[in-house]
């Protein structure tokens, strides 16, 4: 009987376990005993949907994923893996338990990056009024704060004031979610424009306009210095680097995330912006230990903690096959970043490096753009060697369905790439 | 009735083709026409006209139905038994006695486990019933199944799981007119059963929104308000995505779910993992289109709940069902219907558009490998006892469940290497396996290596051509029988003309074989139907209160129609579902990819289907001039963008190659198909045989093969270098 231990029960861990249960039913190699340690208490849930819950678009009690229903599987929710003894193949949990493994899977995810601001932490963690959004517990804390209606000078109710620090995907999405929940929102971003890791200035300008049109006050090139608290401990506001001060009842820090690699590093596994794994998703240091999802970095691939679910799910599928003794390899994923906040439609697509590398070198890359500042739309696609290598869609993402398929798997392209920017599959 | 030319007064009947079973009148063709010209000697004695007073078609007929009488002509059909003296000899005419003696001798010479029977969904209820009895009590073999496995089995299995019952439509087809939102999934009725389109058109006229789901913009999609164009093999993800949205957007009919269903939470949790952007990436269907679809359905459902005109329907057909995950896919659509509170509400529900003429009745009365009459289970001791008593046998003598269609075919032939389970003699009735079965190259090899093959058919089909004995059967207008159409309505097709003297009815063939094999079966359709009724009494598909007399009087009878429901049941599920707890079941189904996905070697998807002027394997329609001229040959439909990549022009011969075989046909360029997918109709044998390519990977529950998607590569057939993907 093979003993498999999975550390982490987020999207990657859950998908792996579900895949092992399903595939394992039909195969003799399904003879395993699996234990999952999940740091978060409660039922597994779909982390991708947290911003939707924040926006009030889906009930937080309806984002739970199926529980593992299989005699071979034990899930220990609320138990965090704290140590690995590679020599003896043991994993320790923070409840004192020790588990023996034949194969260990690290699916520990990522942690929010905290910016170098004064006043965000005390000995208990984040100070009152200061938030990140990574877990359901984070979300509940934000919801509680929104529910505790702030009082104005008179004691009449007023809108809560929120400051979102960080203008990446999560920051923009949370800013929109908070406005939908009735908050006045200021979004401050240190970079020169929103989503500066993924968008050029022209595209970002369209996005900023849209965000402003939805009532979000957007400041780019703007650095926060400190979070200020009242004497009674309540949040007061955010002080900016230029000295200006923003009043706030709630600060949401959305400054990216970092792979949760501490456990791996302590065990002596190679870590470089993620637990380094090969295309078998095995640690380059120890082939009995695997890593998938946000905590992993495939050698030669993107750094960990991209915050995208699709690669995590694909890695989970490959690893499930491998753990059942089948010869699957992870070839890299194309990335599709979607912003799903109502009224702020963004899709940013990039073909997997392995696909781009195969593009015929004799061709030159060809980029076509369509920008309509009045309508608030920006569409661009880059074609190289007969393949779609990247695309950005803002405001009108109706072409995303086709383009997403094409970055995932090359297919026939129209004669003129501009046709890719329109949705021809839908006649309506 | 008399069958003499010009003396038949015709009368009411039903079309011999699809499951709609359009009402027709048979009109005698006079031997001399108005201008005094004599009809050709072999011309059919009757012609067909649509029956205005039959509510399903209201007088309308498609080209297939309108020309149906032509096959009665002796020119197109078999008129004498044929036998082959040696494997290498040609088929030669024989007397009935010689042919039947030979069949009886060959079948009785083998161990019953080496003998098999393969039926069809166009056989009448009486024949389907009798074929099961023939196999199990005369041949005493467990090996019987039928081509409905290739047709309805996924929808049937899914409905049984969800509702405890499988009836194509749980309501009369005219209820479609009341709906205000209709989702047609993998269905192309504008080509496969055109007269039904009048009901969709009427619904649209009254304000209904018609949405189709199909990898091709079919003729049906052209008549719809919206069209979702998923990648073949991803409908299950789409249905999960729509359920996800129904939950997220608060569109679930919570009261209905609480009162009338079980298992919602498990299904909902699976759908949690299928958020719209993920589903868009899996299916190629835009997020916005998913939103629109689920809101359209939910709005129409909500309207009907508040008493306003409304109603939402989800109707599926082969496009979504013929997959190695077809059953789960249909359950995903049913889950969506249940979440929106549709089944059992007026103008609402889930239904399957059955394919073959008696696709419905043919799957209820025992020609399925695991089934006894009345939709009873062969492994249920009480069912065995009930049916054995009617058949006058010991229940212990009844064989147990046998292999499903594709499994049965996989065990055929093999000669010396054949294992203990090998089937060496096969009786085929009403099925053209060489064209319609998946992995046709291998199927053909297996059938050719059988020790003995006997085929009963109207025409010399491709399968009959390779048989050792061919028994020519009487046709629909020449024999009395009942059919059950897609509504679960039982219809009488009375004999209107005498059979051609050279043919016998299938019931006669079975009776005469039974006699030679030491048994006794009735050849009288009314008698067999009465026996079928008794055998079905108390079963799910209870026909016991139906009789030929009642049907002849024009009574409209939908099963179940038994002791408790002598008036029949036009609408199901209004008060409860026939499950142990009376609730419909959400089945927790999850997405999985197809058995064969495109890869570098085989980079495109093939999907298969039907065209307007041909029917199924084409054995009948390819012999009718007017139909064959309209659709004379196979073709490969592909998108102009793909054609340009391949350097293929309209009309050029294109080879489509899968791991199982090759098919070649002219290229037909169309923007109606996804650029990553090619389409071939499956009606033709020979070089253009689409089923040479298809994948016999089976659905674990329904045993449906994966007709609707497999991986292929494409090559120009011109001696030039092959085109790479």
Residue A194 sits in a domain whose CATH number is 3.50.50.60
Give the minimum alpha-carbon distance from B590 to chain A in angstroms, rounded to a whole number.
10
Check whether residue A144 and residue A239 sit in a common domain: yes
CA angle, residues A230, A236, A237, in degrees to nearest 5? 145
How does DSSP classify residue A331? -
* Straight-line distance from the first to the last Cα atom of chain A, in angstroms, rounded to the nearest whole number: 55
B687 touches chain A (CB under 8 A): no
Q: Which residue has the higher pLDDT, B1 or B474?
A: B474
Contacts of B283 in chain A (CB under 8 A): 401
Give the minimum alpha-carbon distance from A396 to chain B in angstroms, rounded to a whole number.
10
Q: Where are the domains of chain B?
A: 11-72, 82-146+358-558, 153-353, 604-716
pLDDT at A300 over 70: yes
CB contact under 8 A, B284 and A408: no
> Minimal CA–CA distance to A274: which of A264, A259, A291?
A259
Give the minimum alpha-carbon distance from B254 to chain A in angstroms, rounded to a whole number.
13
What is the percentage of chain B residues whose pLDDT exceeds 90?
Answer: 88
CB contact under 8 A, A66 and B270: yes
Please say whether the dihedral angle defined by the alpha carbons of residues A39, A41, A44 and A48, taken in this order, is positive or negative.
negative
B516 touches chain A (CB under 8 A): no
CB contact under 8 A, B275 and A65: no
Q: Would you identify the CATH topology of the domain B11-72?
A: Phosphorylase Kinase; domain 1 (3.30.200)
Residue A158 is predicted with a pLDDT of 83
Residue of A nearest to B277 (CA): A338
pLDDT in tens, B641-700: 999 999 999 999 999 999 999 999 999 999 999 999 999 999 999 999 999 999 999 999
Mean predicted lDDT score pLDDT of chain A? 91
Give the minimum alpha-carbon distance from B333 to chain A in angstroms, rounded to a whole number.
19
Q: Is the ipTM of this complex over 0.85?
A: yes
A402 touches chain B (CB under 8 A): yes
pLDDT in tens, B43-63: 788 899 999 999 999 999 999
Check whether residue A285 and residue A175 sit in a common domain: no
In a domain? residue A18: yes
pLDDT in tens, A174-212: 999 999 999 999 999 999 999 999 999 999 999 999 999
Give the minimum alpha-carbon distance from A379 to chain B in angstroms, rounded to a whole number.
16
Residue A56 is predicted with a pLDDT of 93
Residue B488: exposed, middle, or buried by beta-carbon count in 10 A (0-12, 13-18, 19+)? buried
Check whether residue A262 and residue A248 sit in a common domain: no
CB contact under 8 A, B641 and A412: yes
Contacts of A15 in chain B (CB under 8 A): 273
Mean predicted lDDT score pLDDT of chain B? 93
Check whether residue A237 and residue A316 sit in a common domain: no
Domains: count for chain A: 3
Q: Which of A268, A288, A323 is the last residue of a domain?
A: A323
Listed in sequence order, the residues at least 6 apart from B308 whose beta carbon sits closer than 8 Å to its beta carbon are none
Q: Which of residues 16-55 of A touch B (CB under 8 A)?
A: 18, 22, 45-46, 48-49, 52
CB contact under 8 A, A425 and B639: no
- The pLDDT confidence band at residue A424, using thresholds 50, 70 and 90, is low
Hey, what are B660's tokens? 């199982």
Q: Strand A346-350 relative to strand A335-339: parallel, antiparallel, unpaired?
A: antiparallel
Minimal Cβ distance to B278: which of A309, A412, A425: A309
Check whether residue A304 and residue A403 sit in a common domain: no
In this structure, CATH architecture of domain B153-353: 3-Layer(aba) Sandwich (3.40)
CA distance B133 to B97: 23
Residue of B nearest to A52 (CA): B248
Residue B6 is predicted with a pLDDT of 38
What B609-612 contacts at long range (C-beta under 8 Å, 24+ apart), as own/partner pairs, is: B609/B188, B609/B216, B609/B318, B609/B319, B609/B679, B609/B681, B609/B682, B609/B708, B610/B188, B610/B191, B610/B192, B610/B681, B610/B682, B610/B683, B611/B191, B611/B681, B611/B683, B612/B62, B612/B63, B612/B190, B612/B191, B612/B194, B612/B219
Which of B280, B283, B600, B723 to mutate against chain A (most A CBs within 10 Å)? Answer: B280
Residue B664 is predicted with a pLDDT of 97
Give the number of beta-carbon pairs within 8 Å between A and B: 107
Residue of B nearest to A425 (CA): B229
Residue B723 is predicted with a pLDDT of 44
pLDDT at A360 over 70: no
Q: Which of A230, A253, A276 is the last residue of a domain?
A: A253
Give me the domain span that covers residue A172: 121-253
* CATH number for the segment(s) B604-716: 2.40.40.20
CB contact under 8 A, A427 and B217: yes
- The pLDDT confidence band at residue B725, using thresholds 50, 70 and 90, is very low
CA distance B273 to B278: 9
Please name every residue paired with B671 in a beta bridge, in sequence order, or none if there are none. none
Q: What is the dihedral of CA A226, A231, A232, A233, to 10 degrees?
A: 20
CA distances, A44 to each of A133, A205, B101, B126 (Å)? 16, 38, 68, 54
CATH for B82-146+358-558, among 1.10.10.10, 3.40.50.740, 3.30.1330.10, 3.90.1300.10?
A: 3.40.50.740
pLDDT at A60 over 60: yes
């Amino acid at each position: 009987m093979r003993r498999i231990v999975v550390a982490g029960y987020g999207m990657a861990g859950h998908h792996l376990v579900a895949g092992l249960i399903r595939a394992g039913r039909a195969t003799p190699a399904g003879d395993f005993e699996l234990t999952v340690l999940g740091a978060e208490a409660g039922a597994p849930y779909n982390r991708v949907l947290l911003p939707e819950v924040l926006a009030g678009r889906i009930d937080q009690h309806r984002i739970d994923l199926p529980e593992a229903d299989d005699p071979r599987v034990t899930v220990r929710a609320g138990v965090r893996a704290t140590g690995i003894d590679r020599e003896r193949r043991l994993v320790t949990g923070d409840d004192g338990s020790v588990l023996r493994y034949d194969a260990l899977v690290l699916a520990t995810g990522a942690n929010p990056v905290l910016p170098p601001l004064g006043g965000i932490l005390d000995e208990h963690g984040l100070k009152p009024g200061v938030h990140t959004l990574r877990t359901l517990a984070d979300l509940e804390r934000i919801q509680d704060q929104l529910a505790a209606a702030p009082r104005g000078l008179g004691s009449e109710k007023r809108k809560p004031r929120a400051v979102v620090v960080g203008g990446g995907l999560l920051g923009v999405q949370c800013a929109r979610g908070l406005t939908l929940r009735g908050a006045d929102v200021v979004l401050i971003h240190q970079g020169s424009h929103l989503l500066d890791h993924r968008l050029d200035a022209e595209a970002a300008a369209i996005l900023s306009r849209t965000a402003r049109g939805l009532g979000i006050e957007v400041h780019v090139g703007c650095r926060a210095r400190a979070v200020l608290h009242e004497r009674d401990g309540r949040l007061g506001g955010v002080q900016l680097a230029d000295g200006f001060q923003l009043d706030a009842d709630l600060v949401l820090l959305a400054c990216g995330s970092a792979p949760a690699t501490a456990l791996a590093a302590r065990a002596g596994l190679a870590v470089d912006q993620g637990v380094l794994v090969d295309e078998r998703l095995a640690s380059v240091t120890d082939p009995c230990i695997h890593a998938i999802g946000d905590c992993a970095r495939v050698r030669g691939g993107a750094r960990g903690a991209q915050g995208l679910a699709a690669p995590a799910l694909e890695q989970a599928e490959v690893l499930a096959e491998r753990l059942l003794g089948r010869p699957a390899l992870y070839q890299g994923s194309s990335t599709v970043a979607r912003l799903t906040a109502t009224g702020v439609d963004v899709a940013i697509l990039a073909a997997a490096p392995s696909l781009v590398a195969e593009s015929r070198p004799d061709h030159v890359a060809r980029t076509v753009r369509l920008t309509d500042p009045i309508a608030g739309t920006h569409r661009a696609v880059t074609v190289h060697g007969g393949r779609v290598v990247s695309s950005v869609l803002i405001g009108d993402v109706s072409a995303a369905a086709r383009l997403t398929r094409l970055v995932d798997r090359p297919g026939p392209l129209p004669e003129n790439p501009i046709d890719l920017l329109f949705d021809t599959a839908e006649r309506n | 009735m008399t069958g003499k030319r010009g003396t038949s007064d015709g009368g009411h009947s039903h079309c011999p083709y699809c499951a709609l079973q359009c009402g027709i009148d048979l009109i005698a063709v006079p031997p001399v026409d108005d201008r005094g010209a004599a009809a050709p000697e072999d011309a059919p004695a009757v012609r067909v006209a649509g029956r205005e007073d039959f509510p399903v078609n209201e007088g309308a007929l498609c080209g297939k139905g309108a020309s149906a009488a032509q096959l009665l002509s002796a020119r197109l059909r078999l008129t004498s038994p044929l036998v082959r003296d040696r494997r290498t000899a040609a088929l030669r005419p024989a007397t009935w006695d010689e042919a039947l003696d030979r069949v009886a001798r060959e079948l009785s010479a083998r161990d019953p486990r080496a003998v098999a029977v393969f039926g069809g969904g166009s056989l009448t209820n009486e024949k389907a019933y009798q074929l099961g009895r023939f196999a199990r009590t005369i041949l005493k073999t467990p090996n019987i199944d039928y081509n409905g496995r290739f047709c309805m089995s996924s929808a049937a299995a899914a409905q049984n799981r969800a509702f405890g019952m499988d009836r194509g439509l749980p309501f009369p087809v005219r209820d479609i007119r009341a709906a205000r939102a209709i989702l047609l999934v993998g269905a192309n009725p504008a080509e496969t059963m055109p007269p039904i389109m009048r009901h969709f058109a009427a619904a649209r006229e009254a304000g209904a929104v018609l949405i189709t789901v199909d990898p091709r913009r079919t003729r049906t999609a052209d008549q719809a308000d919206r069209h979702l164009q998923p990648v073949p093999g991803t409908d299950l993800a789409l249905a999960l995505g729509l359920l996800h949205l129904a939950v997220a957007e608060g569109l679930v009919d919570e009261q209905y779910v609480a009162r009338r269903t079980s298992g919602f939470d498990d299904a909902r949790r699976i759908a949690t993992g299928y958020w719209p952007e993920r589903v868009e990436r899996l299916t190629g269907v835009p997020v916005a289109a998913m939103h629109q679809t689920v809101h359209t359905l939910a709005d129409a459902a909500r309207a009907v709940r508040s008493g306003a005109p409304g109603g939402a329907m989800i109707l599926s057909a082969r496009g979504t069902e013929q997959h190695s995950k077809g059953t789960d896919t249909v359950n995903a659509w049913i889950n969506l219907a249940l979440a929106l509170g549709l089944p059992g509400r007026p103008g609402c529900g889930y239904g399957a558009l059955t394919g073959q003429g008696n696709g419905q009745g043919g799957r209820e009365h025992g020609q399925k490998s695991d089934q006894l009459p009345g939709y009873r289970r062969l492994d249920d001791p009480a069912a065995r006892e009930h049916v054995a008593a009617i058949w006058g046998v010991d229940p212990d003598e009844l064989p147990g469940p046998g292999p499903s269609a594709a499994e049965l075919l996989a065990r055929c032939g093999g000669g010396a290497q054949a294992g203990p389970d090998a089937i060496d003699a096969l009786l085929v009735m009403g099925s053209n396996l060489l064209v319609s079965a998946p992995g046709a190259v291998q199927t053909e090899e297996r059938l050719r290596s059988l020790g003995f093959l006997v085929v009963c058919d109207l025409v010399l089909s491709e399968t009959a051509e390779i048989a050792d004995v061919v028994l020519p059967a009487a046709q629909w207008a020449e024999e009395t029988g009942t059919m059950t159409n897609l509504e679960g309505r039982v219809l009488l097709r009375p004999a209107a003309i005498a059979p051609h003297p050279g043919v016998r009815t299938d019931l006669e063939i079975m009776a005469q074989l039974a006699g030679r094999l030491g048994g006794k079966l009735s050849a009288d359709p009314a008698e067999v139907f009465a026996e079928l009724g008794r055998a079905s009494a108390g079963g799910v598909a209870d026909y016991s209160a139906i009789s030929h007399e009642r049907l002849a009087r024009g009574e409209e009878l939908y099963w179940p129609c038994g002791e408790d429901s002598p008036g029949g049941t036009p609408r199901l599920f209004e008060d409860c579902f026939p499950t142990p707890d009376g609730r419909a079941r959400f089945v927790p189904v999850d997405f999985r990819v197809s058995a064969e996905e495109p890869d570098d070697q085989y980079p495109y998807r093939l999907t298969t289907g039907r065209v307007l002027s041909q029917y199924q394997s084409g054995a009948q329609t390819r012999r009718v001039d007017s139909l064959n001229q309209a659709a004379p040959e196979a073709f490969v439909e592909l998108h102009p963008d793909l054609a340009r990549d391949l350097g293929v022009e309209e009309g050029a011969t294109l080879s489509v190659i899968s791991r199982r075989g090759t098919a070649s046909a002219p290229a037909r360029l169309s923007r109606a198909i996804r650029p990553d997918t090619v389409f071939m109709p499956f009606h033709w044998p020979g070089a253009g045989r689409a089923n040479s390519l298809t994948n016999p990977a089976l659905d674990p529950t329904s045993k449906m093969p994966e007709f609707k998607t497999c991986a292929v590569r494409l090559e120009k057939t011109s001696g030039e270098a092959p085109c790479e993907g």
